[in-house]
Amino acid sequence: MSAPHGSWPSPLSATDLATAGTRIDGARYAAGGIWWSESVPRERGRMRVMRQEPGGDPREVLPVPWSARSRVHEYGGGAWAVAEDGTLLFVDGGDQRVYRRDPGAQPPTPLTAPGPQYGGLRLQQGRLFAVREDLRPAPHRRAIVEIPLDGSAAQDDEAVREILGGEGFFAHPALSPDGTRVAFVAWDERRMPWDSAIAFVVDLATGARTPIPARAALQPEWRSDDEVLFADDATGRWNLHRARIGTPPLPPSPTPPASTDIVAPADADTGGGLWVLGQRWFRILEDDRVLAVRTNGSDRLVLIDRDGTERELEVPFDADLSLEDARGSRVLITGQGRRVTPGLWELDVDAGTAQAIRGGDRVDPAWVPGARPVTFDGPHGPVHAFDHAPANPDVAAEAGSLPPYIVQVHGGPTAHAAGAQAGWITYFTSRGIGVLEVNYGGSTGYGRAYRERLDGQWGVVDVDDVLAAAQGLADAGIADPARIAIRGGSAGGWTVLSALVRGGVFAAGIDRYGVADLRLLAAETHDFERHYLDGLVGPLPEAEQTYIDRSPLTQVDRIDVPVLVLQGADDPVVPPSQSEAIRDALAARGVPHEYLLFSGEGHGFRQAETLIAAAEAELRFLGAVFGFAPAP
């Protein structure tokens, strides 16, 4: 049969979209099985912990009402750990205290006192390390800490051992094999970790600190008592480096910096934007080989021998990979791919086999043929993107017609799209609507130089790049030039609104909890991103006029196409005041628009009801603007 683009019948409903997608946050080997945590959209996005023993079915370890979710740095991560005997340690999403649940015990018992919040939990040699964040009266303070497992800190926060703290930020605690020193990453509160971050080693007996020279350090891991591997982008790409750690002198003698050298250099990134705690871009295996993610647009896996020789592994997943745990030659990996759903896999690096543990289902190539990497010429250089063309084996397009397209703008902006299959993309492509994911200048995954295109130019380079990509689609005869919409959330929503202000290419915009007023954002956003705008736009008050000139709210009178605005009512990163200001300005000018506010949602949507309502609203909106009737 043939049908107009946008009205193709699809087997994928908004309800399917909301209930089928599972977000996995970490995985571990313990107690003879595999453990992981996953979201439950039908339970308001609760993060439950699951366990599967060999040959058995998955079973829930952390039941209702508990939720293993951290809010450290707002984006959280590393919210749970598990001991070999099955003792579960987790941050509860409600009060942000750390709890202990012994095998068979009910209910969990607290390990930390009310007040501070924790994340980045790491259990090593029977000792629990974490990042602590205290947002009670200023100045806010964060630290790398060790939490006693006997419950002695449940009512006394002073019983939590602080290893190093301050007003800056911390991540990735790692205990040395002999248990005497801890390595971690730290960065100043006025910088972002991908701009400048160093690693430290602290002697637990003396407090002596050994700095590890780095430009933007990530994930220090001990290879022996005197050697640390970590990722750094001193060469312009995040590559593995080795630091040799000497014995610290007795205080008060200064500790000299560790000596470092690069390991297996490559024109690709082993690392990325440190938005969430607990992500792992490489793993040291028991036989001293290293498994590493290499990102250049998409991800690939390489196995590096001690002598530096390496080989690439053939795996079905190639996007957003995190190497969660390792036992012998087996590695637990979370991520997604172009032809598999998001999931958790167990990879045997020697056998070359990857078994899906949760999710990871192969998709039908007739419905999901896989994203096509494309590059467009832009005013600031090449613009990288992934094209998801409409695909439906049961329908043919009407003769001579071109499909409408959504140009998708990722958030961050220091992040990237890897071209992976995603339910929301198939929701549109199966109906005859193409999706182009644009990695505009400032995106990760292509090296520091590409990332730094956005320095001081947010609202300029990103907008130029998405306009160039959309125009490139039209010029190539891929998309209907009169029916190209732009869609994005958070920082992506800023680019949506900024591109609509520029005008001339996009016929509609979908703004999901996007930034509209830079000065309002600078005043209201949370600690982690409080100085993000200093690098993206300029410091205040010196750059105040630039903040005014670039803000879409300042120039909203130039938006003349329909806009759909979606917002979480409890968003602390981009508060509802941003979306409401745009809504009011559009209403005052009579511009067609729709505003949906979702209660109980923060920065990003988690609840099944919200996911369903948002997907249906977006399809309905595009149909109304582009003149098609979505199939029932």
Q: How confident is the model at residue 138 (pLDDT cuts 50, 70, 90)?
A: confident
Q: How confident is the model at residue 248 (pLDDT cuts 50, 70, 90)?
A: low
Q: What is the CA radius of gyration of the chain?
A: 24
Residues 469 and 589 in one domain: yes
Whether residue 632 lies inside any domain: the answer is: no
- Given 214, 246, 279, the domain boundary residue is 279
Q: Is the pLDDT at 568 greater than 60, yes or no?
A: yes
Residues 34 and 93 in one domain: yes
| Among 528, 599, 536, residue whose Cα is nearest residue 133 | 528
Q: How confident is the model at residue 307 (pLDDT cuts 50, 70, 90)?
A: confident
- Rounded Cα distance between 87 and 71, Å, is 22
Whether residue 13 lies inside any domain: the answer is: no
Residues 275 and 287 in one domain: no
Task: Kindly report the pTM of this predicted structure.
Answer: 0.93
Residues 499-540: pLDDT tens digits? 999 998 999 999 999 989 999 888 888 899 989 999 999 999
State the SS3 of 324-375.
EEEECCEEEEEEECCCECCEEEEEECCCCEEEEEEECCECCCCCCCCCEEEE
- Which structure tokens are listed for 373? 């990497």
Determine the average pLDDT of the residues in 353-371: 93
Helix (H) / strand (E) containing 89:
strand 88-91
Would you give the distance in Å from CA 142 to the centre of its chain? 21
- Rounded Cα distance between 99 and 612, Å, is 33
Residues 256 and 294 in one domain: no
Q: Is the pLDDT at 253 greater than 60, yes or no?
A: no
Rounded to the nearest 5 degrees, what angle is found at the Cα of 85, between the Cα atoms of 83 and 90? 35
Residues 138 and 214 in one domain: yes
| Among 291, 276, 271, residue whose Cα is nearest residue 131 | 276
- Rounded Cα distance between 302 and 317, Å, is 13
Q: Which structural domain range is residue 505 located in?
A: 379-626
Q: Is the pLDDT at 575 greater than 60, yes or no?
A: yes
Looking at the 3D structure of the chain, how many domains does it have?
A: 3
Relative to beta strand 593-598, strand 434-439 is unpaired
Residues 210 and 284 in one domain: no
CA of 108: how far to CAs of 61, 65, 88, 309, 440, in Å? Answer: 11, 11, 9, 47, 45
263 close to 240: Cβ distance less than 8 angstroms: yes
Cβ atoms < 10 Å from Cβ of 621: 21
Would you give the distance in Å from CA 148 to the centre of its chain? 30
What's 254's DSSP letter? P
Relative to beta strand 563-568, strand 508-512 is parallel
346 close to 354: Cβ distance less than 8 angstroms: yes
Determine the average pLDDT of the residues in 438-462: 97
CATH of the domain at 50: 2.130.10.120
CATH of the domain at 454: 3.40.50.1820
End-to-end Cα spacing for the chain:
16
Whether residue 70 lies inside any domain: the answer is: yes
Q: Is the pLDDT at 480 greater than 70, yes or no?
A: yes
Whether residue 388 lies inside any domain: the answer is: yes
Whether residue 369 lies inside any domain: the answer is: no
Residues 192-212: pLDDT tens digits? 999 999 999 999 999 999 999
Residues 383 and 446 in one domain: yes
- Residue 248 burial class via C-beta count within 10 angstroms: exposed 0-12, middle 13-18, buried 19 and up: buried
Highest mean pLDDT among 269-273, 307-311, 605-609: 269-273
Residues 466 and 614 in one domain: yes
Cβ atoms < 10 Å from Cβ of 188: 16
- Given 362, 388, 418, the domain boundary residue is 362
- Rounded Cα distance between 453 and 536, Å, is 10
Residues 166 and 306 in one domain: no
Helix (H) / strand (E) containing 243:
strand 239-244
**At 532, phi and psi to the nearest 5?**
-60, -40
**Dihedral (CA of 160, 164, 168, 170) sign:** negative
Q: What is the pLDDT of residue 247?
A: 67
Residues 582-628: pLDDT tens digits? 999 999 999 999 999 999 998 888 888 999 999 999 999 999 999 99
Residues 60 and 112 in one domain: yes
- Given 279, 314, 339, the domain boundary residue is 279
Whether residue 17 lies inside any domain: the answer is: no
Residues 426 and 545 in one domain: yes
Whether residue 368 lies inside any domain: the answer is: no
Position with higher pLDDT, 193 vs 308: 193
- Residue 57 burial class via C-beta count within 10 angstroms: exposed 0-12, middle 13-18, buried 19 and up: exposed
- Residue 180 burial class via C-beta count within 10 angstroms: exposed 0-12, middle 13-18, buried 19 and up: middle
Residues 390-403: pLDDT tens digits? 999 999 888 889 99
Q: Is the pLDDT at 155 greater than 60, yes or no?
A: yes
Whether residue 205 lies inside any domain: the answer is: yes
Residues 197 and 311 in one domain: no
User: What is the rounded average pLDDT for all residues in the chain?
Assistant: 93
Determine the average pLDDT of the residues in 470-476: 97
